[in-house]
Amino acid sequence: MEFFYWFVWIVGILIFIVVSTLYGTKKIDKFIWYLFWLGVILGLSWEIALTIANLFSPFPPARFIIPPPLPFPYSSVMIIITHSFWDGGLFLLGVWFIQLICKKPVLEKNKISELLVFIVYGQISTLIVELLSTSSGGWEYYVYVWNPLLFSFFGHNITLLPQLIWVLAPITFYSIAVKLKQRISPK
């Protein structure tokens, strides 16, 4: 089951390589490049916070079902970096859904339809990630009063905390993305 960790780490690195190559070959513009890094930075905010809480809190938010294959601190560093690259990629996928579903032009001003697409996409994507993680021996979140159980999946917890993160994260990302687009778009 260590395969799951290697898969997540390798795909995270590949996401970074693909987005960097697309930008370097001018297949994506500077705005999309900035959005990728915005997503990575937002991802870092919770990846670092959750890792620190897991290491030092008397109430760690999550646990590894099967321990990662590399010793501490290498696994923690790999998780923080590659999961943040995944987050950047997931945010770009959300932008793509907005472009696909919403009336053009997109991300030029705050539109409730765009934000709702992003929030719904965020909820679906985080649920898929949590289901894949628990069924593949990755991680699961502990149940606390502040992180209630939504349901069990193959005997593992699917909790509220990741869903809350992916309600707040798209709102934050979308708000910054609209401001960024207004700032870098030619007038």
Per-residue pLDDT of the chain (187 residues; tens, 9 = 90+): 689 999 999 999 999 999 999 999 999 999 999 999 999 999 999 999 999 999 999 999 999 999 999 999 999 999 999 999 999 999 999 999 999 999 999 999 999 999 999 999 999 999 999 999 999 999 999 999 999 999 999 999 999 999 999 999 999 999 999 999 999 876 5
The CA distance from 153 to 122, in Å, is 19
| pTM of this structure | 0.95
Whole-number pLDDT of residue 21: 98
Whole-number pLDDT of residue 108: 94
Q: Which residues, at least 6 apart from 174, have a Cβ–Cβ distance to it below 8 Å?
A: 107, 110, 114, 115, 118
Q: Is 102 left (phi over 0), alpha (psi -120 to 50) or beta?
A: beta
Whole-number pLDDT of residue 2: 84
Taking alpha carbons only, the member of 178, 187, 7 closest to residue 83 is 7
The CA distance from 62 to 50, in Å, is 8
